[in-house]
Amino acid sequence: MISTPGVDTDERDPLLAVKPATPSGTTSVQPVTPNGRAAQQETPLPVKQLLILALVRLAEPINFTIIFPFVNQMMEDLKVTDKPSEIGFYSGLVDSSFAIAQCCTILQWGRLSDRIGRRPILFVGLTGSIISIFLFGMSQNLAWALSSRSIAGALSGNIAVIQTMLAELTDSTNESKAMPLVSVTWSIGIVLGPLLGGTLAHPAERWPASPLNNAWFRKYPYSLPCSVGALFGLGALIIAYNYLGETWKRSRHETQISRSSSVASSATLTEPEATAPVGVWAILSHPPLRQVLISGFLNSFLATAYDVVFALVCYSPIQLGGLSRTPAEIGFAFAFGGIISITLLPTGLPWLQRRYGTVPLYQFCAALWIVTFAGFPFLNLLARRFILEGSSPKTGIYILWLGIGSLVFISRITSMTFSLAITLVRRAAPDKRILGSTYGVSQTIACVARALGPACVSSLFALSVDKQIMGGNLVWVVMAATGMSCMLSSWRLTDLES
């Protein structure tokens, strides 16, 4: 039996789903999966379109994370402050500027995609990313760095539009295979981006005997990795322009509205309302979606805060609560996390989602944020015990990297929440014909969280270390408590499992 696209089936069906009697008087029994769900014929995935979407999606995480290994060193080079403990605050501002600009515009990009199509919005976002990262590489002061970083955020509505296109290209029979696309491509991006940033920064110093030791790269030591990121974005733009199909026309004329059982009992948009522009408050007034968005806000806040504080802790001196790692080592640590996600998401996530259900798996992963942030002070403890005070610093470094690898592994399991959240937003949407607007609202809220996360965590880290509040551990107490809030909010999503 082929399901109607957009209809989510109950994951707790009886072991044997019995159809009505056939004309011959016999009873037809549906096949069932190992977890007791009635089996459905899977709709084939549009592989070519998904691969092109993946390429488009990949450009953003590359250009977003390419600065992570060197942004703290860049702030030192730009001499934004004389205090090493304040470097994290300014690097956090740079990281936040992208999300601050994006949260001001992403909803409008999502709504515009419901009116003019998905492709034009994607092309604008890619163009903004290309210009932004190229200009960022030529930063000579803090204002330039903030402005160039903001360009990408202001012009990028791509994540909301890509999520919408994924929802339009899939249905309930194949979404578990397609939805990890966003997280998998993000994971590939956080392998390539930090590797490029950590390896190619300061090329004149790294390779003094090469042609890269010239006046340009001595003046702009971060332009090489940023230019490489811009070239990748340009390639993605050219391929998408020529080969990516439009999904909007199909969804625009779609007449059947899919609702979950919990949605059916609540007020929904009528058909005339669905074809007109829908206000933000009309979307937010839908209770199931509102619960998903609250949990998504906390999840995005924690995820962005983790990325920023991980780079900050790795770069900071051990005496200031850090681990004293180089930009290249930080890049490799991010790349290791990306490799874990690339391996885990396409293989483990679909099986886990079918085996345990979307909501229970989301709840488990959300709870791991507590463990993730509680692990940071233990890493610094390892660094102090085995590197600063140990008799064998070489052995201490091995032990420290074992701890770093363990923390990164846990964080990658936690990051599965983003793939699961795409499905939850789709299930909770008040009307499937306004998916662009719905995902736009979702990503606007996520952008606010991503804007607050870096600034809050870097400021808390600086305050904790500078004032030695709770022995420098105030930041970890606050972030672990926020992780607990995220876990508790996920417990309110049970109705979306059916």
Instruction: Read off the pLDDT of residues 79-133 as tens digits, 9 standing for 90 and up.
Output: 998 888 788 888 888 988 988 888 888 878 878 888 888 899 999 999 999 999 9
Greatest mean pLDDT among 75-84, 178-187, 376-385 lies in: 376-385
188-199 pLDDT, tens per residue? 887 899 889 989
Distance between CA atoms of 336 and 493, rounded to whole angstroms?
A: 32
pLDDT of residue 38: 53
Joined together, the tokens standing for residue 133 give 């990262």
First to last CA, the chain: 18
Joined together, the tokens standing for residue 296 give 């998504």
CA within 13 Å, CB half, 23: 0
Instruction: Match 């509205």 to its residue by tokens.
Output: 257
CB-CB contact of 179 with 352 (8 Å) = no
Question: Which neighbouring-strand residues pair with 27?
Answer: 21
Q: Reply yes or no on whether the pLDDT at 45 is more than 90.
A: no
422-460 pLDDT, tens per residue? 888 888 888 776 777 788 788 888 888 888 888 899 889
What is the mean predicted confidence (pLDDT) over 30-43?
Answer: 58
CB-CB contact of 350 with 177 (8 Å) = yes
What is the mean predicted confidence (pLDDT) over 178-207?
Answer: 85
Q: How many whole angstroms from its chain centre is CA 95?
A: 14
Q: For 173-191, give one letter per residue: b (16+ CB within 10 A) or e.
A: bbbbbbbbbbbbbbbbbbb
Q: What is the 3-class SS of the chain, one letter each residue?
A: CCCCCCCCCCCCCCCCCEEEECCCCCEEECCECCCCCECCCCCCCCHHHHHHHHHHHHHHHHHHHCCCCCHHHHHHHCCCCCCHHHHHHHHHHHHHHHHHHHHHHHHHHHHHHHHHCCHHHHHHHHHHHHHHHHHHCCCCCHHHHHHHHHHHHHHCCHHHHHHHHHHHHCCCCCHHHHCHHHHHHHHHHHHHHHHHHHHHCCHHHHCCCCCCCCHHHHHCCCHHHHHHHHHHHHHHHHHHHHHCCCCHHHHHCCCCCCCCHHHHCCCCCCHHHHHCCCCHHHHHCCHHHHHHHHHHHHHHHHHHHHHHHHHHHHHCCHHHCCCCCCHHHHHHHHHHHHHHHHHHHHHHHHHHHHHHCHHHHHHHHHHHHHHHHHHHHHHHHHHHHHHHCCCCHHHHHHHHHHHHHHHHHHHHHHCCHHHHHHHHHHHHCCCHHHHHHHHHHHHHHHHHHHHHHHHHHHHHHHHHHHHCHHHHCHHHHHHHHHHHHHHHHHHHHHHHHC
Distance between CA atoms of 198 and 335, rounded to whole angstroms?
A: 10
Distance between CA atoms of 10 and 15, rounded to whole angstroms?
A: 12
Residue 355's CB is within 10 A of a number of other CB atoms, namely 12
Of 6, 1, 64, nearest in space to 37 by CA: 1
pLDDT over 70, % of the chain: 83
pLDDT over 90, % of the chain: 37
Q: Is 115 exposed, middle or buried (0-12, 13-18, 19+ CB in 10 A)?
A: exposed
Question: Which neighbouring-strand residues pair with 18?
Answer: 29
CB-CB contact of 173 with 2 (8 Å) = yes
Q: What is the Cα gyration radius of the chain? A: 24
pLDDT of residue 190: 79
What is the mean predicted confidence (pLDDT) over 237-246?
Answer: 92
Instruction: Match 């990306």 to its residue by tokens.
Output: 338
Of 245, 242, 286, nearest in space to 264 by CA: 286
Domains and CATH numbers, the chain: 28-248+268-497 (1.20.1250.20)
Q: Reply yes or no on whether the pLDDT at 251 is more than 70.
A: no
Q: Reply yes or no on whether the pLDDT at 48 is more than 80.
A: yes
Widest pairwise Cα distance in the chain: 86
Crossing angle for the helix pair 287-315 and 327-356, nearest 10 degrees? 150
Q: Reply yes or no on whether the pLDDT at 154 is more than 70.
A: yes
Of 284, 251, 261, 53, nearest in space to 171 by CA: 251
The single-letter code of the amino acid at 113 is S
Q: Reply yes or no on whether the pLDDT at 285 is more than 50.
A: yes
CB-CB contact of 460 with 475 (8 Å) = yes
pLDDT of residue 447: 82
Of 75, 57, 365, nearest in space to 193 by CA: 57
pLDDT of residue 40: 63
What is the mean predicted confidence (pLDDT) over 475-485?
Answer: 96
What is the mean predicted confidence (pLDDT) over 169-182?
Answer: 73
Phi, then psi, of 38 in degrees rounded to 5:
-65, 130
Q: Which residues contact 184 (CB under 8 A, 6 or more apart)?
A: 54, 341, 342, 345, 346
What is the mean predicted confidence (pLDDT) over 262-286?
Answer: 53
